[in-house]
Structure 1
Amino acid sequence: MKFISLSGNPNYPCNVIKFKSTHIMLDCALDSTTVLSFLPMTLVHSNHFNSLPSWNATKEFTDPLLENEIKECLGKIFVDSAPEFCLPEFSCIDMKNIDVILISNYRSMLALPFITERSDFSGFVYATEPSMNLGRLFMEELVTYIERNPKLKRATAWKNLNIFQHLPFPCFPDSILPTVLENIYSMDEISSCLSKVKPVAFSEKICIFGSLHWYPVSTGYCLGSSNWIIESAHEKIVNISSSSTYTTHIRPMDHAPLKNADLVILTSLSLAPTTNPNTRLNEFCDHVEKTLKSGGNVLIPCYSSGKIYDLFECLNAHLDSVSLGGIPIFFISPIAEHSLAYSNIMAEWLSELKQNRAFIPEEPFPHGQLVKNGRIKHFVSLSEESFNNEFRMPCIVFTGHPSLRFGDVVHFIELWGSNPTNMILMTEPEFPCLEALSPYQPLSMKIIYCPIDTRLTFIQANKIIRDIKPKNLVLPYQYTRPFSQAESHNKQPFETMIEADCKMFPYHRKETIKLPIECKYERLLVDSELISSLTTHEIADGIKITTITGILEAKDNKFRLGPITKSYRNEFRSQMPTRTLPPNKYLIGMIDMNELLRLLAHQGYLDIVLNKFGDKRFRIEIRSKGITIDIDDETKSIMITAEDWQNDCRLAIRKLLAKCLIEI
């Protein structure tokens, strides 16, 4: 088995395994952290961004092509162009060889249009229905944000490799080259891409080529998120990605199918592994309360699905408890209405508590009722006329994008950033707070970094690995060294890295690993007619043996052994007259030397001598005929040495040897 890593970021996984001649891609996430190296896309003219100076390169490196492409803000540089995203390293593989793509969740499929629409890929794509639908919403939101406020110019000179290597971007990993950076796809590409995705339910087994089958099980993280189980007749592979053991609105993580795998692939652990999400959630509510009571507004950059549902529920309950229930909550996103509505019609993918609410009947999420009574107001964008009619302060605004590089959040930061009573509350850990806000500096508004990540921590992941007992573990190399956040410096190693009893295979971006998993056996279906004709012989207490002869048929990687029929024998003899069919009976057992000597003497052979060479080798000399019989029990061989004219004797001795063995 081969494992190929196409992504170096554990939280944007894209890996390929080659198993039983089948190429399987596990996820195709789009790394959006690279957009932090671009200037924000503003809704209206921005004096701040337009007045930023061009970057003054060092004396050792100057290039006139960079004029007006690279801007500088307080010592950090940014590309003044439409944001570009980091694709997986598709150059490492031939996409036409990929047979299937398995999607773990809607966040792990955002690079899919680059595969289905811009490569030779012609295989299958599987995802749960919520992953498909929410993936579509996320893709459309991303495209809408970027197309809504297009940049007037496109910067390209900075991507020249000779120039790029001199640019001090803080958010580009060393292994990333500009060749893997791309602008976002189009709406047409999204529609075409998702038409090729096949929906699958939890525990629904899908078979391909007859040799493998796979099925998704709940990860407990977000709507429809899946851990994939891949099985052959004798091997088992498990892909664990973006899983959670916390009790939220999602169906709990399904542990049982993960056990006793030959291989576990582990990705997408928590980016805030040393903090408790429940504690952070309480802090989140407290920060909002303090800001509102001081007369300020709260800006919460967020994704439009997932964690936001729990934030709505907890924040609303907290505000009611502190007499702030009249503060308006605005949710602004191109997909706000669809996201809120969709979450309330997917009852079968929710926790048991949420499912029970759906059958009362009540809406599973409180935000359904909060929208109806006007407590939460959702809008497509700031330019929507109804937003201007409803907007009042102080208020709470949930909007995107959490990278702070595009979307309505850009306008709100510019609008509220100069007032110290206002607050921006960052909850998404994948975008470092300081880097995300750096092009807006200087800011006067309060900045609170309160990362909430319910995915598995290292402690939880280590416990699960001990429980499921895999034979081999493939994981990003970052998980085999202590977590680098400053807050983790006093933590024990098992709290900040993966420690497992099984063999571990850490991987880097663009690395191929040969794994010690070989297919030694195949499952064979034996025809019932052939089974009924078998006879067994007991060779020891409780041990019986038999031989089986038949026709082996292989079709779609499934194997069947059937009887040799009379018609087949006739056809075989006519087509291959020089070849013979295997015998129906075989000789087995150990030769009793005394019995063989008795039979030879009874047959009339004289002057017989037995020579022993240890316990396993014997030579019988029939001196009257000049014939020797060499018997080697170790190699299971018998050799009769005689003259050519003694062929009759050779055949007679052969029959005597057969009498000393068992025919089955």
Structure 2
Amino acid sequence: MPSISVVSFSPHERFHLLLCELDDTMFIVDCGWPLDTLYSDQPDDTGKLRTAKTDTRLDPRDALSTINWARVDFIILSNYEQMALLPYITEYTEFSGPVYATEPAKAYGRCVLEEGLSAALQGKASATMQGGSSSSMASTSNRPQSSWNHTANGWDKWQAQLPYTQRDIVAAMEKITDVRHNEVISPVPFVQVYTRSSGYSIGSANWTVEYKNHRTAFISTSTFVTCLHPQEWDSKVLSDAQAIVFCDAVDPASHEDDEVGAARSNAQVLQRINQLCSTAISTMKQRGRVLLVGEPYGVTQDIFQLIAEHTQSLNLPPPQFIFISPVAERTLQYGNIMGEWLCESKQALLYLPEYPFADKDLRQKNHLHFVRSLADLATRNIPQGNWFVVVPPHDTATIDYFVRQWKQDAQRCSSAELASGTGMAKFAVLMHDDDVARSQSLVNRLTVSSEITYVPVSRRLTYHSIEQSLASATHAQHVLMPSPVYARLSASASKYEFKMFEYSHLQATTVDLSADRHLPLNIQKEMTQQIKSNGKQCAVVTGLLSLAAGKIRLEYPEGHGLVQTLTASAGSINNDHSAVPMSSLPRDLSVWTPEKLADELNEIGINARVVVDIPNGTAAASSKPELQSTSQPVKLIKIVVPGGSATIHMHGGWSVDCTSVSAQWTVMDSLRRVLKCA
């Protein structure tokens, strides 16, 4: 009986590093770690970070050293936020297996890693200058200035803030295998892996790992929101999984509204983005300047797009859009290059002469500028006037500079200058990061609270949306959640048929993937008898299964076999033993119509459709004597499920024709659910 073990190594709820073990198969789901904990604190004399809260800010070396990397078979990455430790894992451990991610996750992930490395080097350079050191940064850029070096005792000693170099990032990216949504890959024998869109960012993925006919879904950072530019959430990841592992949920402090549903999520996200845009437009109408604190990807791209559209629709002079980041130019271009990974509305624009984003038009008009750092800004000739500046939240030095400079300009601006339009007295600071703790820390260090507009745009799944999504987990037997999520949802676990488990930091949680979706007992006995009489080890049901008065029974015409045993060759052996005569089955399902049954099956996640069949000359007519006397079309229900298909006959009594045991389990269990709820 297969089992799955999950151990969480990242101490932060938003970032994941899950070590999973399926029998003898071991793999890693995501390599996330909070980057700001790596480059915001300096190491102490022992080589460990100076941290105020050791339970939430840990040295990743201590966690990763407990993993036997030689036994890890493969790594799967969900989005660009969950790649912080990948270069260290691929370059400084014994891991040698494949790494899988979508093309956009790989491209954006490299940008995130390079931006973090740049921030760490800038922070170290600033610390060196403040300490009065005259050593040159150029002399240390090529040696492992930002990596762990091996010492005589075999352990790594902390040398700088980030555990990798630019060379390590390039090498790690070359080891990633690109995959597409719904593509099936087999990293090791007997294991199949495929991915579906999580809706969170361009190329973001939720993974399904199939092992011994058991499917385990890993739900990484996801969202139901459909009003942004990434491809939408694909709910099929839940409907066909027997075990589900949720990785995170949004901080309740950043999600004030408890209402759920995709429509409500869209309305709330749009409301918050519009609030930020309204503040920016209002400031620029008064010839002011705007500072947007946000990464040059994700929601920042949607806010930038809306502000550019609003200024054009209101006939306002377009401001000078300035992105201060070493990767901003690439990240904005990826939106068009990887157009097939966008939402449907953006994909539709790819087939028109229009460009899906505003950056191309602004670049042609010389209103869009990309600056690698604040030092490079002094060398650029950017027109004065309305500025819309985008700065990453970790670049606190640049944020402090603009706030201090603009505040001084506002104090020096005279009424005459303001009247003539040559002075700048108005400015605004916009923040949308849904990491409340990080944003609040940044707000506290800025001394212009009246000019700061903090509106967290939270897109991740909430506790309530997770509970809502479980309704579509029709095949789920086990659901694993982080301890904070489990604490909020465990009270409602009794209303589900699956079992709910929790996992916590550095604690192993193991569950047995038992197949508790069994056939009814009377059918199992008949199959066992047929298997024993033929001396076989397994059997496949290819005949008819009957429903009568809500009970599932064997049904087939006299003189025809139902159970067929598998042989080494393509042939099969029929057994003529009669289990249940058709005449003894009661008929008590006349209230159901094919349309009603198909709708109910679709409601619980089964792909069912009604088709019209003419009985004459068909297999359905030959197997039912009562249908042979008429040539009138009859309605059948066709069902397609993982592992096979089925046909439900409802004329003159119900019967189900299944092509495989796995399809039989799925269809019969679904019918049992429908009849039970009716």
Alignment partner, residue 57 of structure 1: none
Q: Which residue of 2 aligns with 1:477?
A: 483
Determine whether 1:108 maps to 2:82: yes
Aligned pairs for 1:32-111 within 5 A: 32-34=35-37, 38=41, 89-111=63-85
Give the Å deviation of 1:130: 0.8
Q: Which residue is 1:508 aligned to?
A: 504
Q: Could you tell which deviates more after superposition, 356-365 or 114-123?
A: 356-365
- Larger displacement relative to structure 2 (252-261 or 505-514): 252-261
Which residue does 1:258 correspond to in 2?
238
- 1:10 positional shift: 2.4
8 Å Cα contact 2:323/2:370 also seen in 1 = yes
Q: Which of 392, 401, 404 is 1:411 aligned to?
A: 401
Offset of residue 453 of structure 1:
2.2
Cα distance in structure 2, aligned partners of 1:281 and 1:504: 35
Deviations along 1:14-48, one digit per CA (max 9) or x if unpaired, are 11211131112110112135369649xxxxxxxxx
Looking at structure 2, the residues matched to 9 and 322 of structure 1 have their Cα atoms a distance apart, in angstroms, of: 43
Deviation at 1:468, TM superposition (A): 2.2
Q: 1:234 maps to which residue?
A: 213
CA–CA distance in 2 between the matches of 1:479 and 1:512?
17
Match 1:126 to one of 76, 85, 100: 100
State the alpha-carbon separation in 2 of the partners of residues 78 and 502 from structure 1: 37
1:542 & 1:499 partners in 2: Cα distance? 35
The 5 A counterparts of 1:276-295 are 276-295=268-287
Q: In 2, are the aligned partners of 1:382 and 1:388 still within 8 Å (CA)? A: no
Greater Cα shift, 211-220 or 438-447: 438-447
SS of the aligned residue for 2:231 comes to coil
What secondary structure, in the 3-state scheme, does the structure 2 residue paired with 1:290 have? Answer: helix
Report the CA distance shift for 1:467/1:528 in structure 2 as closer, same or farther (over 3 A). closer
Deviations 1:158-208 (A, max 9, x none): xxxxxxxxxxxxxxxxxxxx9999721210110111111111111111113
| Cα distance change of structure 1 residues 85 and 298 upon mapping to structure 2, 3 Å threshold | farther
| Paired amino acid for 2:348 | N
Q: Is the 8 A contact 1:433 1:449 kept in 2?
A: no
| 2:161 is aligned with 1:183 | yes
Task: Say if 1:426 and 1:449, in contact at 8 Å, map to a contact too.
Answer: yes
SS in 2 for 1:388: coil
Structure 1 residue 459 displacement after superposition = 2.8
The code of the aligned residue for 1:472 comes to H
Would the aligned equivalents of 2:231 and 2:344 in 1 still touch at CA under 8 Å?
Answer: yes
Structure 2 unaligned regions, length at least 5: 131-155, 258-267, 412-425, 519-536, 541-563, 582-678
**C-alpha separation in 2, matches of 1:89 and 1:531:** 52
Match of 1:12 in 2: 15
Paired residues for 1:325-336 under 5 Å: 325-336=317-328
| Correspondence for 1:541 | 579
Which amino acid in structure 1 is aligned with residue 229 of structure 2? H
Please tell me whether residue 273 in structure 1 is matched to residue 259 in structure 2. Answer: no
Q: Which residue of 1 aligns with 2:34?
A: 31
Cα 1:395–1:532 shift into 2, 3 Å: closer
SS of the equivalent of 1:96 reads: helix
SS at match of 1:390: coil
Which whole-Å CA distance do the structure 1 matches of 2:372 and 2:387 have between them?
A: 17
Equivalent residue, structure 1, for 2:675: none
Task: Report the Cα distance in structure 1 between the residues aligned to 2:539 and 2:99, rounded to whole angstroms.
Answer: 29
Q: Distance in 1 between matches of 2:83 and 2:250?
A: 19
SS of equivalent residue, structure 2 residue 223 = coil
Residue 441 of structure 1, CA deviation: 5.0
TM-score, normalisation: structure 1: 0.63
For residue 416 of structure 1, report the CA deviation from its aligned partner: 3.6
Give secondary structure in 2 for the equivalent of 1:207.
coil
Question: In the alignment, which of 361, 371, 376 is matched to residue 363 of structure 2?
Answer: 371
Q: Find 2:430's aligned residue among 422, 425, 432.
A: 425
* Displacement of 1:151: 4.3
Following TM superposition, by how much is the alpha carbon of 1:440 offset from its aligned partner in structure 2, in angstroms? Answer: 3.4
What is residue 645 of structure 2 aligned with on the other side?
none
Instruction: Report the equivalent of 1:360.
Output: 352
| Cα distance in 2, alignment partners of residues 112 and 528 from structure 1 | 46
> Matched residues in 2 for 1:519 and 1:481: separation?
27
Comparing 427-436 with 193-202, greater Cα deviation is found at 427-436
Q: Which has the higher contact order (CA 8 A, sep 6+)?
A: 1
Partner of 1:21: 24
SS state at 2:441 partner: helix
Q: 2:311 aligns with which of 315, 319, 329?
A: 319
Equivalent residue for 1:167? none
C-alpha distance in 2 between matches for 1:498 and 1:361? 54
> How far apart are the structure 1 equivalents of 2:405 and 2:269?
30
Q: Residues 112 and 193 of structure 1 are in contact (CA less than 8 Å); yes or no, is this contact kept in structure 2?
A: yes
Aligned residues: 474
- On the 8 A contact 2:214/2:242 being kept in 1, the answer is yes
- 1:499 and 1:369 map into 2 onto residues whose CA distance is 54
Paired residues of 2:73 and 2:97 also in contact (CA < 8 A): yes
With over 3 angstroms needed to count, the CA separation of the structure-2 counterparts of 1:462 and 1:385, relative to structure 1, is closer
What is the SS of the residue equivalent to 2:332? helix
With structure 2 as the length reference, what TM-score do the two structures score?
0.62
Q: Which amino acid in 2 is paired with 1:28? A: C
Partner of 2:442: 437
Conserved? CA contact 1:131–1:223, under 8 Å:
yes
Match of 1:213 in 2: 192
Q: CA deviation at 1:103?
A: 0.4
Residues in 2 aligned to 1:285 and 1:358: alpha-carbon distance in whole angstroms: 25
Partners of 2:439 and 2:41 in 1: CA distance? 14
- Larger Rg: 1 or 2? 1
Q: Structure 1 residues 335-344 or 354-363, which shifts more?
A: 354-363
Moved more, 226-235 or 86-95: 86-95
TM-fit CA distance, 1:390? 0.8
The root-mean-square deviation of aligned C-alpha atoms, in Å, is: 3.9
Deviation track 1:78-111 (CA, whole Å, cap 9, x = no partner) reads 99xxx99757822342122111110001111121
Percentage of pairs with the same residue: 24
Give the aligned residue type for 2:232.
Answer: P
Distance (whole Å) between structure 2 residues aligned to residue 144 and residue 366 of structure 1: 27
Alpha-carbon contact 1:220-1:245 (below 8 Å) kept: yes
**Is the CA contact 1:30–1:88 (under 8 Å) kept in the aligned structure 2?**
no
Pair 1:450–1:17, CA change in 2 (3 A): same
Equivalent residue number for residue 339 of structure 2: 347
For 2:161, the aligned partner's letter is N
Instruction: Supply the distance in 2 between the matched residues of 1:238 and 1:111 (Cα, whole angstroms).
Output: 23
Structure 1 residue identity aligned to 2:255:
P
Secondary structure at 2:186's aligned position in 1? Answer: strand
Residues 123 and 476 from structure 1, CA distance in 2 versus in 1: closer, same or farther, beyond 3 angstroms?
same
Secondary structure at 1:509's aligned position in 2? Answer: coil
Correspondence 1:433-582 to 2 at 5 A: 435-437=440-442, 440-443=445-448, 446-469=451-474, 470-481=476-487, 502-518=498-514, 530-531=568-569, 535-541=573-579
Deviations along 1:432-483, whole A, 9 cap, x unmatched? 2564326735446622211112222333222211122322111111113459
Contact 1:14 1:88 in 2 (8 A): no
1:394-421 deviations in Å (ceiling 9; x for gaps) = 3211121x13446x43533443466684
- CA gap 1:249/1:387 in 2 versus in 1, 3 angstroms: farther
**Distance in 1 separating the partners of 2:185 and 2:368:** 41
| Partner-residue secondary structure (3-state), 2:505 | coil
CA contact (8 A) 2:72 2:95 kept: yes
Q: 2:193 matched to 1:193?
A: no
